[in-house]
Amino acid sequence: MYTQALNEKDAPFTTGRSDDPIKLERFQAIIDAEDKVEPNDWMPDAYRRTLQRQISQHAHSEVIGMQPEGNWLTRAPSLKRKATLLAKIQDEAGHGLYLYAAAETLGMSREEYYEQLLSGRAKYSSIFNYPSLTWADMGAIGWLVDGAAIMNQIPLCRCSYGPYARAMIRICKEESFHQRQGYEIMVTLSRGTPAQKAMAQDALNRFYWPVLMMFGPSDTESMHSADSTKWKIKRFSNDELRQKFIDATIPQGQHLGLTFPDPDLKFDAATGHWTHGEIDWSEFKRVLAGDGPCNRQRMKVRKAADAEGTWVREAAAAYANKRADRQRIAKIAAE
Ligand SMILES: [Fe+2]
Ligand SMILES: [Fe+2]
C-alpha cells in the first residue's frame, strides 16, 4: 500500500540508514501490510545486506549442490534414472540462475557475488560438503536434502522481498519433483535385494544428521534471526522448521522399513511431535569453516569450471558488443 509513495525511480537502489525514523516506519508498514518490497523501493541498509547475503548464498548452494549428484550421472543404473537425475541437476542450475538474478536486483552484480564464492568469503549450504558414495545417495539426497530445502523454502514464497518471493514459487514446485524422485529411488532400493536395502540404510545413516544441521543452529544462537523475522524474510525459527521436517520425514522412513540413526528419537503422543537426540554442532561448525569431507574438492571443481568458462563469457560479451555496434550504426543510417 505504501509502495508508490516510497518509489524513488530516479535513484534506484536507494538505501537508508536504519535510524531514518520516518522512512523506516513506512518501510515496516509495507512489510506489516504483507505488501512486497521491490528493487527500487527505499530499504534499510541492513535489510539489503541481509538479502544480498541470503539470496546469494542460496544461489551458491544450488550451483555447488550439482556436484554430489553430477558424480553419479555416468553411473545411473538405467536410462530412465539417468534422464531423471539429469533433469533434476539442470533444475538446480536454473535455481542458481533465478537466484543470482534476484540477488542482482539488490544492486550488486553476479560477478561480484561469484567472486565472493570463489574467494571463500561467501558460504554455501554445509550439506554439499559431504560425499555421494553410492547410488542410494541419489535417493537420500533427493528425499532428505531436497525435502529439507522445501521445508525451508515454502515460507520464502511469502518473503517480503518481491523478486526473491517470486523466484521461490517456481523453485519450490521443482523441489517437490526432486524430493519425489529421491524418495522413489529409496522405495525401489528398500524393496530390492538385501544388499540394495542395506545401501539405502547406509545412505540414510550418513545423511540424516547433516540434513538436520541444514536448518542451522537454534535461533537463540543464530545471529540474524530477530531482524529477519521482523522483516518477514523469515517466518519460522530454525528449530520450528527442523521439527516440521522431522515430523514429516520419520513416517516416510518407517514406510521404507528403514531406521534412523538416533537412539533418542521417540514420538511424544502429548505434543504430536517426534523428539530427537542432540545434534553435534561442532561438526556443523567444522564443515562450515571449511573442514568438511569435500570442501576443498567442491571449490576446486567450481574454480576450474569458472576458469574453463571464461572464453564462453568473453565470446558472448564480444558478440553482444558487436551486435550493439551494428544496431547503433543501423539506427544512425536510418536517421
Ligand atoms: Fe534447488
Ligand atoms: Fe532440488
pLDDT tens column, 30-42: 999 999 999 999 9
For residue 178, the CA-to-ligand 2 centroid distance in Å is: 5
Q: Quote the ligand 1 centre to 161 CA distance (angstroms).
A: 19
Instruction: Give residue 277 CA to ligand 1 midpoint distance, Å.
Output: 28
Contact call for residues 62 and 31 (beta carbons, < 8 A): no
CA of 98 to the centre of ligand 1 (A): 10
Range of weakest confidence among 2-6, 24-28, 321-325: 2-6
Per-residue pLDDT band for 223 (boundaries 50, 70, 90) equals low
Taking only Cα atoms into account, the Rg of the chain, rounded to an integer number of angstroms, comes to: 22
Work out the pLDDT band at 221, boundaries 50, 70, 90. low
Ligand with minimal distance to 88 CA:
2
Question: What secondary structure letter does DSSP report for 125?
Answer: -
Show Cβ contacts of residue 29 under 8 Å, excluding neighbours closer than 6 positions. Answer: 1, 2
Q: Tell me what pLDDT residue 308 has.
A: 96
- List beta partners, residue 43: 15
- If pLDDT is split at 50, 70 and 90, which confidence band does 226 have? confident
| Cα separation, 218 vs 266, whole angstroms | 20
* Residue 53 CA, ligand 2 centroid: distance in Å: 20
pTM of the prediction? 0.89
Quickly count: other Cβ atoms within 10 Å of residue 202's Cβ: 16
Taking the centre of ligand 2 as the mean of its atom positions, its distance from the CA of residue 103, in whole angstroms, is 19
Q: What is the pLDDT of residue 19?
A: 67
Dist. CA 174 → ligand 1 center (Å): 7
Question: Phi-psi category of 78—alpha, beta or left, where left has phi over 0 and alpha has psi -120 to 50?
Answer: beta
- For residue 105, what pLDDT is reported? 97
Calculate the alpha carbon distances from 37 to 56, 62, 167, 169, 232 in Å: 18, 24, 14, 16, 11
Ligand nearest to C-alpha 95: 1
Q: What is the Å distance from ligand 1's center to 148 Cα?
A: 11
* Cα 284 from Cα 209, distance rounded (Å): 10
**What's the gap in Å between 320 CA and the centre of ligand 1?**
30
DSSP-H helix ranges across the chain: 3-6, 21-32, 45-64, 66-70, 79-104, 110-118, 136-140, 147-153, 162-190, 194-213, 225-230, 238-256, 281-286, 295-308, 310-334
Task: Report CA-CA distances (Å) from 277 to 163, 280, 284, 335.
Answer: 38, 9, 15, 75
Measured CA to CA, the distance from residue 57 to residue 43 in angstroms comes to: 20
- CA of 224 from ligand 2 middle (Å) equals 25
Q: Determine the distance separating the centroid of ligand 2 and the alpha carbon of 150, expressed in angstroms.
A: 8
pLDDT band at 18 (very low <50, low <70, confident <90, very high): low
Q: What DSSP state is assigned to residue 292?
A: S
**Residues for the chain: how many in total?**
335
Q: Minimal CA–CA distance to 145: which of 124, 164, 160, 163?
A: 124
Q: Find the ligand nearest to 68 CA.
A: 2
CB 266 within 8 A of CB 250: no
At residue 268, does pLDDT exceed 70? yes
Q: What residues have CB less than 8 Å from 180, skipping those under 6 apart? A: 142
Give 37's strand partners: 161
pLDDT in tens, 76-110: 999 999 999 999 999 999 999 999 999 999 999 99
- Compute the distance from residue 179 Cα to the ligand 1 centre, in Å: 10
Q: Is residue 15 over pLDDT 80? A: no
pLDDT band at 146 (very low <50, low <70, confident <90, very high): very high
Q: How far is the CA of 91 from the centre of ligand 1 (A)?
A: 7
